[in-house]
Each structure stands twice: as C-alpha cells, then as structure tokens.
Amino acid sequence: MHADIAILGGGIIGSSVAYHLARDGRAGTIVVVERDPTYALAATPRANGGIRLLFSLSENIEMARHGRDFYRAFESEMAVDGEPAPISYKRQGYLFVSDAGGAAQMEENARFQESMGVTAERLDPAALEARFPSISGEGVALAVLSPDDAWIDPQAALMGFRRKARSLGVAYIDGEIVEWQGDGVAARSVTLADGQAITADVFVNACGAWAAEVGRLIDLDLPVEPMSRESYFFRCADPLEPLPFIKTETDLAFRPEGDGYVGGMPDWSEPAGWNFEPSPDRFEDVVWPALAQRLPSMQRVKLIRSWRGHYARNTLDYSAIIGPWSGGLGNVYLANGFSGHGVMHAPATGRALAELILDGGFQTLDLARFGYHRIPAGEPYREKGIV
Ligand SMILES: Cc1cc2nc3c(=O)[nH]c(=O)nc-3n(C[C@H](O)[C@H](O)[C@H](O)COP(=O)(O)OP(=O)(O)OC[C@H]3O[C@@H](n4cnc5c(N)ncnc54)[C@H](O)[C@@H]3O)c2cc1C
C-alpha cells in the first residue's frame, strides 16, 4: 500500500493531524496506522479533558486558546452528514491554588498571562472562600482563576476527530508498527505485525508515550518516556457549589464530573515506565487527606473507580516536540511529548503539522521553539506553569 502521508498512532494527536491535513483536500491520500481501535491503553481516553490558559510559555497559551475555541464549536463543526459530535464542553473555569512556596511564580505567570489577554483573576484567601465556600483559604498565599476555561470528554473528542477524518477520506489501518525503514535520505515505509508494508512520502510520529519506542525503529532519538498517572472518580456525600477545575499546592487536580469528581495527584517518587495497576491505598492514604484539607466539605467522599494512564514526558524540558525531524530524515514529522496537555493542544498541533507539511511553514502560530533541534542541542524550552 502507498499513501502520500502516513500518520503513526491514531490517538487524539494523530487524529487531529489527520483531520487538519484532510480538511481542504490538498494532502492526497492519508493513512493513520493505529494498533488498537478500542484505545484501551492510550492516554487520550484516560485523560481529564481540562483546557486552561494558565501557562507561562506564549505558545502553550496560544495553543490552549485555539483548543478552547475549537472545542467550543466542535459539536457542530465536526458533524458528519448532519450528525453532531457532542464532547460535553463545559465552561466552568480553572483555578490554581498556591501556598507561599509557589505564589511568586504564579503571580509572575499571571502577569504574563494577562499581557497575552488571558483573564487571570487573583483571589486572596478571603476572596477565595467567598467565591467558593467549600474551599478553605487556610495556608493559601494566592489563587488564580481563569473563568473562561473549560473541560471536555476526551474520548468523545477523539472519536469526533476520527469520524470526521474518515468522512474526509482518511483511512485508519488497524495494525502494530514493528519496523520503520529509511534509506539515509528519507523514511520510506513501515511494516506492520501482520507483514503488511505501507510506503509513504511523509510520515508523522504521533505515538504518544510509545513515540520513543517507535522512533528507535528508524534511529530517531526521542527523549520521551511514559509516566504513569493514577486517576480517580469519587463522590461527595454533601452537595457543593459548582466548582472549577482545581489544582492545589499539593498538585491535587480534579474537577466535577457527572454526580461526582474526577482527578488525581501525581506521585513524583514513581520511576518512569509502564504501570497500569492502580494502587489499593493511595486514595485513602494520600489523596483524600489532601482533598479534605483544602475542601473541608469533602470529609465524606467515596472512591468509586481508579485507573492509570501515561503522560508522554519529554525528559529534556517537559515541553512538546512539534515539527520536522531536523538533522534527521526530512520527511519525518513529530508531534510528541505532550505530558498533561495533549488534549487541549491537539487542535493547534494538528493545524501546525498540516501547515508545515502542506504549506512548508507555520502560517498561523509559530511553534519553531518547540522544534526537534533543541533535543540534540540540549537546549530546554521549559514551561513554568504546570506541565
Ligand atoms: C491521567 C491523565 C490526565 C490527563 N489530563 C489531561 C487534561 O486534563 N488535559 C489535557 O489536555 N491533557 C491531559 N492529559 C494528557 C493527554 O491525555 C495526552 O497528552 C494526549 O491524550 C496524548 O495524545 P496522543 O494521541 O499523543 O497519545 P495516545 O492517546 O496515547 O495515542 C497514541 C496512539 O499510538 C498508538 N501506538 C503506539 N505505538 C504504536 C505502534 N507501534 N503501532 C501502532 N500504533 C501505535 C497507541 O495505540 C495509541 O492509540 C492527561 C493524561 C493523563 C494520563
């Protein structure tokens, strides 16, 4: 089989790239190679779906702003044959809460965010408690609220991208990439586990936390590793006011979901690697105490479900790697290392890759500083908000 463009990995990043390439009909034949159409282990369906503008790098802010606008219109824009693509878009804000340790950085970030047109409302402890009565202001030095931020159902967004891309002629091929061949000038083909070979003129690595593994098949060195993150769905016995997506000073991050809440709290001591096994006691021993301390009205919560998913963490600087494999094979493009923001950044990433491949350069948002060149040069471009 031959395609003009082969996208490796069909999660939300690969599917957004596919959609953006296909939408104006200039790209020729596009295939997406995805080994698991149920996405059982992929990051996208395991994500929390938060969209926030509270970043410190201008590119991350602009990408999230585009993502927010894109997802707001997703249901109708991504309709196929008149059938809408609902993604449960909910504009309920994003709140960062900090103690004295992180307040100065948060204030610096908020000033920068404001300079970029972001609403970053500062709340002192009294204002915080007045605005959200279930949150305790004790020990809080600063809280910043971005009221226009939102969240979506990431699984629904992935399916929406996928369905729309297919309606525009993109072929999804079920199969595991086991070989990726090049000849020193360009990448030429991938071979799947069933022996099928696909040749293409252009390749995009969108393999999420598996990106380095797939890259190694063609001697592409990517500093991307899987970082396991545990998530929980829990219910609170007492009804609370509508809460935003909250991230506290202990890195506890959660939001309302249906009749409960969804979120998690990273364990920074856990080594990198694959781990899909939820820990039996962590919610009760670590997460719940942090929750009940910041939100005393969450004394009575019940854990309903735990699961794990993996960030694709770029060990150089935790930022995304977007663009051509500079210094390597010129027809290989990268969309990797999105840590905890690949859902919100998927629309801007898809648009950027389509511009690079079809127009030869960025047209709307210059993402050159996220380029691969910084990896061999060892020059980090680091986010100072959360990654
Ligand atoms: C717990 C958690 C919470 C998160 N919360 C948020 C959030 O609130 N907001 C946000 O924006 N982001 C969030 N994220 C991050 C977000 O989920 C990811 O950045 C995003 O889903 C990455 O998409 P992807 O397409 O790169 O990866 P994936 O969804 O993992 O897709 C990669 C695909 O590549 C395929 N693949 C891999 N190797 C091969 C191969 N050899 N052959 C064929 N196919 C292959 C896989 O099967 C997979 O389907 C969160 C992530 C986690 C884990």
CA distance 375 to 7: 22
Whether residue 258 is found in the same domain as residue 303: yes
Integer distance in angstroms from the first to the last C-alpha of the chain?
39
Q: DSSP string spanning 238-255? A: S--PPP-EEE-TT--EEE
**Ligand 1: does its nearest atom lie under 6 Å from the Cβ of 90?**
no
Domain edge (last residue) among 309, 341, 368: 309
End-of-domain residue from the set 309, 326, 345: 309
Domain that holds residue 266: 91-150+227-309
Q: How far is the CA of 310 from the centre of ligand 1 (A)?
A: 7
The 10s digit of each residue's pLDDT in 105-142 is: 999 999 999 999 999 999 999 999 999 999 999 999 99
Decide: helix, strand or coil at residue 4. Answer: strand
Residues 122, 253 within the same domain: yes
Only one residue has tokens 């000073």, namely 249
69's CB contacts (< 8 A; 6+ apart) are none
In this structure, is residue 143 part of a structural domain?
yes
Residues 71, 149 contacting (CB under 8 angstroms): no
Tell me, using a 6 A CB cutoff, whether residue 75 lines ligand 1. Answer: no
Ligand 1 mutation target, pool 229, 336, 338, most atoms within 8 A of CB: 338
Residues 95 and 64 in one domain: no
**Residue 152 and residue 159 in contact, taking contact as beta carbons nearer than 8 Å:** no
Number of domains composing the chain: 2
Per-residue pLDDT tens over the stretch 25-75 = 999 999 999 999 999 999 999 999 999 999 999 999 999 999 999 999 999
pLDDT value at residue 385? 84
Say if residue 162 is in the same domain as residue 121.
no
Residue 343 lies in a domain: yes
Answer yes or no: is 361 within a domain: yes
* This model's pTM is above 0.85: yes
Identify whether 163 is part of a domain: yes
Token pair 């900090």 is found at: 98
Domain holding 298: CATH number?
3.30.9.10
Residue 271 is given by DSSP the state: P
CA of 338 to the centre of ligand 1 (A): 8
Are residues 97 and 135 located together in one domain of the fold? yes
Instruction: Let me know whether 104 and 164 are in one domain.
Output: no
Is 382 inside any structural domain? no
List the chain residues with pLDDT less than 70.
Answer: 387
User: Which amino acid, one-letter code, is at 334?
Assistant: L
Question: Are 219 and 268 found together in one domain?
Answer: no
Tell me, yes or no, whether 28 and 158 share the same domain: yes
